[in-house]
Amino acid sequence: ASVVHRLDLDTSGVMVFPLSKEVHAHISRQFQERKVYKNYTAIVFGLVENDSGRIDLPIACDWQNRPLQKICHEKGREAITNFEVIERFAKDNCTRVTLKPETGRSHQLRIHLSEMGHPIIGCDLYAHEQALAGVERLMLHATELSFEHPITRKVISGRCSPEF
């Protein structure tokens, strides 16, 4: 078994482990061609105003502050994240959102939400102190992955509900 994709450090949820090199290559190609459906759940700091939206900000490596990434309109690669509010928690000043990335850049969800002014709670890379206070882990979970099975050609979906 080998992993075909990876989750950011501290992200929980669904992963794919092909059992042969051929299957690994087929599924990897689906990721590269953006044919894999990915859905994440996150708890973000603050009350997100819009019920849904699209974040389209290019991302590049921040070489002087590795492993951080940064928004860079000159050298960054296309990065698109769609979001939808699931629930707002006024008492706790946070929002549960569904995230559907169209691209898969390193730290994409973390940096996009931080740039939006709503960092993921528990994110030790892009969140401010308030968003880090009182939590023990990153509130980001890979909820669903769907892709075409390399042999049967049927769509395979894996789902895993978050524990937060």
Q: Considering the candidates 8, 56, 92, 124, report the single residue annotated as catalytic.
A: 8
Give the C-alpha separation, 145 to 102, whole Å: 13
The answer to whether the peptide bond before residue 101 is cis (omega within 30 degrees of 0) is no
10 is catalytic: no
- Hey, CA dihedral for 56, 50, 13, 146, is it positive or negative? negative
Give the C-alpha separation, 17 to 91, whole Å: 40
Contact 90/46 with Cβ under 8 angstroms?
no
Q: What residue spans of the chain are helical by DSSP H?
A: 21-32, 108-115, 129-132
Classify strands 69-71 and 80-89 as parallel, antiparallel or unpaired: unpaired
The catalytic residues are: 8
